[in-house]
Amino acid sequence: MFEKLIIRWNRLSEGRVVIESYFICLLLPFVFYIIPSWLSVSGGKIHRDGLVDYSMGLAAIFLVPILETIFIFVPVLEVCRYFKVSLAWSILGFALFFELLHTQRDFLGHLLLYPSMISMTLLYMSMRKKSFLHALVFTIAVHEFYNFTVVMGSPSTYDKFFY
């Protein structure tokens, strides 16, 4: 299954790969996180008591994807490539490892975002077939787009929007 998607992504235009990967990453969080949070707010529930730290959102959007890709994705996945670990084990194992590093989530959050991590790992492995730079830039870009959508798509980002 992973091999077919990697072959497909290597045949498509780079823009199409970014868009597909982004939508795969965002599907479950959008359905189970963003939409319900907006429904909750529109139903009159107050969110976060007006306390918003915008710097955390900016760091999550711009800085964290770069650091995580360089210091986590690259070393671990390049070691897997060097030792010729099977593609499926590399993708599933690394996605689990990477998801578990995000300790701020509860168990359901981990289950919900594990497919997103698989998609980002699959993107790295797919673009690595083209070049190291492709893998690095594409993974960072999709991760930043994803984080931007999750942070800016959440009503809790806006402290006085519904008051």
Chunk the chain into consecutive blocks of 10 residues (it has 163) and report each block's average pLDDT, rounded to whole numbers. Answer: 90 94 95 87 59 66 94 97 96 95 87 94 95 96 93 76 55
pLDDT at res. 40: 78
CA distance 128 to 122: 10
CA distance 40 to 88: 38
CA distance 151 to 56: 10
pLDDT at res. 51: 47
End-to-end CA distance of the chain: 48
pLDDT at res. 156: 73
Q: 82: how many CB neighbours lie within 10 A of its CB?
A: 8
Residues 159 and 52: beta-carbon distance below 8 Å: yes
pLDDT at res. 159: 66
| Residue 108 CB contacts under 8 Å (≥ 6 apart), including other chains | none
pLDDT at res. 41: 75
